[in-house]
Structure 1
Amino acid sequence: MTNLYTGCPKMKEMDGRAVLILFIMLTLVKTEGLVSVTTGSDYVVTRVGENQTISLDVSRAGGEFRVSFNDSTEYLFHKFNNSDLKRVNNNRTLYRDRYRVRGNITSSVFRLTLYNVTTEDAGIYECQKFEGNQRVPGCKQLLIVARNPSQPNITGPASAVSGGSVTLTCSSSSRSLPPDHPPLTMNYTWKRNSEEIQGGGDVSVDGPNLTMKDISREKAGNYTCQAKEEELKSDWSARHVLDVQYGPNTVHFNETHDKVTATEGDPLTVRCSADCNPACTVTWLDTSRQKVTSGQREAVLSIPAVNRSLSDLYTCHVNNTHGNKSRNLKLDIQYGPYTVQFNEIDDKVTATEGDPLTVTCSADCNPTCTVTWWDTYKQRVTSGHREAVLSIPAVNRSLSDLYTCHVNNTHGNKSRNLKLDIQYPPSVKTFSDISINNITRKVDSVSFLCVVDGNPKPSVYLRHDLTNRTYPMTCETLSKSIYTSHQYYECTHTNENFDVFLHGAYSCRAENTVGHVDSRAVVVTVPSK
């Protein structure tokens, strides 16, 4: 017999046995290319373009056998009893010059090498006895030619709720040949937003499944996967967008703390928002829980000009289907005093000498006003914060009759006067007869002068002590003291055609609503002829 290929050693002839035609199961031992973890089982794996050595266990094949591919009637090899091995069908250009016999053919082993493997080499190699086409048990081998897996497809939910769990599945098909080959090991690589995902903790990769427990909003994004079979990788899958939904965690104010200070009349704008998915409804409520404004994702509390009558507490409430949160905003509106208040009295107070007097002065201010009482001399009487109390244990006529309450803070000041009307009984300061004309038995006239003090203004009379007759006196107001409540009146009475029988003691009587007083007596004497 001739050699299979030029340069191959002449095959040794085998001993004379009955001619048998055998299908030989090929045990392939890869000497180049990838090494399969399945080597030694009933199939072997190689790649396109690799060289593959095939070892045949021919211990049960007998002296003569033949080898076929994929149950074809065209045999690859024919072994005769005379130990000559040749290719039966030399017209199969597919295998021409690509087989090499390695070493000697023995009673148990026959080796050959397939060079530059193609996808058409994938399939079953088997041995068959020449007579009866009987297959030799156990003499069959599957050659799998590995190819890149198909582009994967990701299946799983498009959304998940924060705190829950989600599983995504990467589905890819083997493209290795033959199509009905036994399953090969396929591994998967996952990426989120182009960053490879490592298993561990709440994240696990089990075969094609990516499972994430206690999922958080950070796990949202674009997921892709890649399949790998026998170290051959597929293309990356199309992206799978995972939307993680969650309720609000915190409520945000724009560059504002929980308390904002504004001067009355100034504009105020506070923006409230929260990170939510789906977007939260944002609502501003005032102290009475009345809605001020609302919006999606954010709401703006806008006040063109703040004033003291506004609510001093606003609440921003945010909510969606997964939760809700609230945050309070304390509004501190600052303003100066607008009016000065006295406790239940007008600008004038009337008091009887000796009575106590208490007047509280205050003003609505923010921040709190300093309140000060001043007397007519511009001397400070008392002061305090928020209010000051003018307290006099017993009023008297010598006190200032005008007091001023002054209030002020950083935003303004106001003053208000208090007129103090102290009432007291009258007193006679001077009483005399100022002129007697034609002092004869019949006097022409007698004039009397009485200077009195009293509040309210007293009524003044000239009284003849002997007859108890009274004569009204005409009073004129003297200049009032600018510092006290004293008010003096000069009262006169002239008795024309004074009768000598009206001589005797005269006095000045003054009286008002508080009391009355009689002066010392003045004696008028008319000489006889």
Structure 2
Amino acid sequence: MEYRWQRDNKNLTNDDRHQISDKTVTIDKIQRQDNKITYRCIAQESGSRLSNYKDITLNVMYKPGRAQVEDKIIGPYFEGHLSDVILRCSVSDPGNPKAKFSWSKDGMVKDRNNQGHYSISGGQLSVSGHGGLWQCTPYNDIGNGQSANINITVYANPVFIKNISNQSPRAEIQNDLNVLCSIRGRPAPDVIWLYKGGQLPDVVTVISESDVINNKLITVNRRLIWSTDSTLDQRRTTSGLYTCIGNVDDKETKQNINIDVQYAPYNVNINISGNITIIEKELLSLTCAATCNPQCNYIWSKDNTQIIIRDILEFKSIRRQDQDPLEITIRVTPEGHLIQDSDVTVSCIVNSRPEPSSIKWTNITDPDLQDLDCSHKNNTHCMLTLSDINILDSGTYQCQVDNGVRGSPVSLNTNIIVYGPARWYKLDPDDHV
């Protein structure tokens, strides 16, 4: 009996994969390409034409090939879009047995089916539920094929975390400006501030704080503050409407806050109807004006006594008693105990109308120390400097002021007491102890 082998109706001989020994053929390294290949064994009587054969078809099992998707990127869609998205996946080689398909997102299996298509329908798209990387994996009993990815882009409309108008609308120029705008969306919203619909003043700047990511939504924080080099005068002019705008792919949201910049009165002026020199019994009207926010209140006083609360002070018939007072203030530096061998400054500060014609210092304790020289002097200020003082400098010092109105000088005294250790001093023979 003779035996021979055929492969797909072609006589088979020994090669690098087939070894024939009598009636046995050995196939080395079965491959997926061998699937459904038919091998035929033919038996024939020696010296005879009589023969018979038997076919065997190989059923080679192997895992699927590479997954293929129609679209790598789907979208963008915005949250709330009615979902009609169909994910389509095929495979280069279905494998044996025929491949099935698994759809997963973020590592979690969402669906298994035989067709490869996955329909996201029946609801609204969301960032967390649908946005992100989807993966199609072909598989069978032998194993998994190579996966393919589809990215579904789902955007989230920009939304304010908090209403910015709930923050305090008042800002004081000497304190911090602090208004926060927080907008959430996906991708990260573009957030800008506007002032009266245009560019921010130079004295106001925006700082970017760390973005916060929660459940794939990104919160962007932008805070309004004073510029570090801004001055108080510059800040006074920045009251008005500020607008925060957030934008995601041309989807926009905005809110307004009307910031009221407040400051203490400045540029205080007294406007006089007529001349400051006025004849007794004439009419005199004085108007006090200042720049301030909130609105100024005006208090007129004389000799530290309140007269009236309003901006205009009127004298129906001026009297000589109504003339401006002459006020003297003495300031000793340093304050407190004065120590021997230190330097002391005694300042006489005058508030007078008209301005004083003379200001002078005397030591009324020592008759020889009259008309002391001022180290610094102008029309309203006379500063007396005592250097390396000792206990003999102790005494009563008097500032005398004459403005030519009261008829005689006005004076104010201050006592200087110098503390120090006891010392021997040489006395003049005429001194009395």
Q: TM-score, normalised by structure 2?
A: 0.52
Matched, 1:188 2:1: no
**Are 1:454 and 2:273 an aligned pair?**
no
Deviation at 1:397, TM superposition (A): 0.6
How far apart in 2 are the matches of 1:464 and 1:234? Answer: 139
Q: CA deviation at 1:226?
A: 5.3
Supply the distance in 2 between the matched residues of 1:201 and 1:195 (Cα, whole angstroms). Answer: 17
CA distance in 1 between partners of 2:160 and 2:352 (Å) = 52
Note if 1:309 corresponds to 2:128: yes
The alpha-carbon deviation at position 222 of structure 1 amounts to 5.2
Whether the 8 Å contact between 1:283 and 1:291 is mirrored in structure 2 is: yes
CA contact (8 A) 2:197 2:243 kept: no
The residue number in structure 1 matching 2:49 is 232
- Aligned counterpart for 2:97 among listed residues 278, 298, 302: 278
Aligned partner letter, 1:425: A
What SS is found at the alignment partner of 2:33?
Answer: helix
SS in 1 for 2:59: strand
Asked if structure 1 preserves the Cα contact closer than 8 Å seen for 2:284 and 2:318, the reply is: no
Q: Which residue of 1 aligns with 2:252?
A: 413
Matching of residues 189-208 of structure 1 within 5 Å: 189-192=5-8, 199-208=14-23
Aligned match of 1:376: 196
Which of 158, 161, 166 is residue 338 of structure 1 equivalent to?
Answer: 158
> Is structure 2 residue 236 aligned with structure 1 residue 422?
no
Q: Which amino acid aligns with 1:263?
A: Y
CA distance in 1: counterparts of 2:31 and 2:309, whole angstroms:
104
Are the aligned partners of 1:203 and 1:212 in contact in 2 as well (CA < 8 Å)?
yes
CA distance in 2, matches of 1:197, 1:498: 140
CA contact 1:334–1:365 (8 Å) conserved in 2: no
- Trace 1:57-456 onto structure 2 (pairs within 5 A): 184=1, 186-192=2-8, 199-221=14-36, 223-225=38-40, 227=42, 229=44, 230=47, 232=49, 234=51, 237=54, 239-250=55-66, 252-257=67-72, 260-264=74-78, 265=81, 267-272=84-89, 275-280=94-99, 282-287=101-106, 289-296=107-114, 298=116, 300=118, 302-303=120-121, 305-310=124-129, 311-324=131-144, 327=147, 329=149, 331-335=151-155, 337-339=157-159, 346=166, 349-357=169-177, 363-364=183-184, 369-376=189-196, 378-379=198-199, 390=224, 392-393=227-228, 394=230, 396-399=235-238, 401-408=240-247, 410-427=249-266, 429-432=268-271, 449-456=287-294
Amino acid in the other structure paired with 2:144: N
Q: Distance in 1 between matches of 2:272 and 2:200?
A: 46
Render the CA deviation track for 1:308-341: whole Å, top value 9, x for unaligned: 2335233445544322357473635253752356
> Secondary structure of 1:379's match?
coil
Whether the 8 Å contact between 1:336 and 1:408 is mirrored in structure 2 is no
Structure 1 distance, partners of 2:182, 2:146, is: 37
- The 8 Å contact of residues 285 and 293 in structure 1, kept in 2 or not, is answered as yes
- Return the TM-score normalized by structure 1: 0.44
Amino acid at match of 1:314: W
Measure how far apart 1:465 and its partner are: 0.7
What is the deviation of 1:388?
6.2
Match of residue 306 from structure 2: 469
Q: Partners in 1 of 2:323 and 2:132 — Cα distance?
A: 81
Contact 1:432 1:522 in 2 (8 A): no
Quote the Cα distance in structure 1 between the aligned partners of 2:77 and 2:133: 16
Question: Does the Cα contact within 8 Å between 2:127 and 2:156 map onto a contact in 1?
Answer: no
- Tell me by how many angstroms 1:350 deviates: 3.4
Asked if the contact 1:253–1:270 (Cα under 8 Å) also holds between the matched residues in 2, the reply is no
Secondary structure of the residue that 1:245 maps to in structure 2?
A: coil
Preserved CA contact (<8 Å) 1:405 1:416: yes
Query: 1:453 is matched by which residue type in structure 2?
Result: T
Assess if the C-alpha contact under 8 Å between 2:77 and 2:155 holds in 1.
yes
Flag structure 2 segments of 5+ consecutive residues without an equivalent: 212-219, 326-350, 355-433
Q: How far 1:255 moved relative to its partner?
A: 1.6
Shift of 1:425: 0.8
State the distance in 1 between where 2:266 and 2:63 align.
87
Deviation at 1:501, TM superposition (A): 10
Q: CA deviation at 1:354?
A: 4.0
Q: Which amino acid aligns with 1:399?
A: T
Note the alpha carbon deviations across 1:194-249, whole angstroms, 9 max, x for none: 56655422333333333323212221115252526348374664x54432222344
Cα offsets for 1:351-378 (capped at 9, x unmatched): 3214454666565455555444433372
Look up the SS of the partner of 1:218 in the other structure.
helix
Corresponding residue for residue 387 of structure 2? none
**What is the CA–CA distance in structure 1 between the aligned matches of 2:303 and 2:127, rounded to whole Å?**
73
Q: RMSD of aligned C-alpha atoms?
A: 4.8
**Separation of aligned partners in 1, 2:244 and 2:181:** 7
Shift of 1:190: 1.9
Task: Tell me if the contact between 1:285 and 1:291 (Cα under 8 Å) persists in the aligned partners.
Answer: yes
Task: Pick closer, same or farther for the CA change 1:226–1:253 going to 2, 3 Å.
Answer: closer
> Structure 1 residues 349, 330: CA separation in 2 closer, same or farther (over 3 Å shift)?
farther
Q: Is the 8 A contact 1:337 1:407 kept in 2?
A: no
Tell me which amino acid in the other structure corresponds to 1:307. Answer: S
Q: CA deviation at 1:428?
A: 5.5
What are the superposed Cα offsets for residues 470-524 of structure 1, whole Å, 9 maximum, x if unpaired?
A: 4333xxxxxxxxxxxxxxxxx45779x9997984559xxxxxxxxxxxxx9999x
Matched with 1:180 is: none
Residue 299 to residue 421, structure 1, CA distance change in 2 (3 Å): same
- Cα 1:199–1:369 change in 2 (3 A) is farther
Superimposed CA distance per residue, residues 38-93 of structure 1 (whole angstroms, 9 cap, x where no aligned partner)? xxxxxxxxxxxxxxxxxxxxxxxxxxxxxxxxxxxxxxxxxxxxxxxxxxxxxxxx
Over 3 Å counting, the alpha-carbon distance change for 1:219 and 1:411 in structure 2 is farther
Q: Distance in 1 between matches of 2:222 and 2:301?
A: 53
